[in-house]
Structure 1
Amino acid sequence: MGLLTGLRNSISNFFTGGQKQRRIGIYGPPNAGKTTLANRIARDWTGDAVGPESQVPHETRRARRKEDIEIERNGKSVTIDIVDTPGVATKVDYTEFLDHDMEKDDAVRRSREATEGVAEAMHWLREDVDGVIYVLDSAEDPFTQVNTMLVGIIESQDLPVLIFANKIDLEESSIQRIKNAFPQHETVPLSALEGENMDEVYEKIAEYFG
């Protein structure tokens, strides 16, 4: 550890009361709004974004990290690194990308990169995160193999987890459907795109991960 890094950590520990910095993984299926949420959190507290947002599935094909985000709500605070992970799927089919006007070679390359990204996301989950924000599209059916598998792995790792029901701005959104799918975990509704209910999001992050 360099002198400047050590000094910075000492100063950080002084102002956070020696509180451990948490590495929080943002997980969920493709197109649930993980990167939109990661960018919303990062912009609200640091002014910077984490990565590009897109309607193309598997746009995030490598884990991206934003460090030193200090969140304060109701007298509680937590300093976190957020890790925006690739959407996890049981299979990445290159034909998904053909629907977005890509050439076949590009589609095959992106599907290969997305598959590697899923493996990386699973590695982070098993080795390198202290807690999980699990993002679901509240307009979609949460009862899927991927969601059941991932939540089960998170539980087996004994990691604190918050379920975020995203896209409540959509007419077909159903928060109750997500609550019914995972009643053992608290569900927080939000729209990362519109910034709806972000106060509660930050309250829960500070409470669960602090």
Structure 2
Amino acid sequence: MISKTILYGLVLTSSAPAALAETYTVRAGDEVGFGINEHFGHPGIQQVYLSRAPEGVAAADYDGSGAWARVYSLTSSPTNSTNSSSTNDDEVPSWATHNIETFRFALPTSTPPGEYLLRAEGLALHAAHKRAQAQFYVSCAQIKVVAGEEDVTNLGADVREEDLGPLVKIPGVYRGDEPGVLIPVFWSSLTNYTAPGPALWPEGTQEQHVAEQI
């Protein structure tokens, strides 16, 4: 049975029973989602990072100073052409995040059991052609990951915390002048986009171009 719980703007979709607490228990491989205040109205992207709390430290007491892995990236849809018959027609980006109010993704099945911070990061690009003008919209959730239903005994047993990655520190992951944070032209003139951040974890995770909403 799928349960859905909303708390402080966070939406979690999980087969595990929802707890009325600040830290949610979810199974590795379950879907996790975030609600967005009103909607994401700017051109831009949504990404998610995951950081495990130190051994013996609850997610509620963790300050996020450890290492983070990028586990989800939602960017632009395939480039679309304008419908005008004008000779000035250009290829323009179509952002998968445009006006979404929620988004969801599957927590990696190989996520080791433990307590984590889950960072949802919206990046608005309407002024990102100017240095230091990209806008970050950030929210964090506290989760406790347990083994998934398919393999309760072994799931995550062969994946250590140091196997997550590549790992980065936040703040520190972005300089401000890398592709994706500083873009070469005004956003509506882009024909392709490179999301910032380390490679997605686990290896082989694909960037998403269509929002899965809750």
- TM-score norm. by structure 2 comes to 0.27
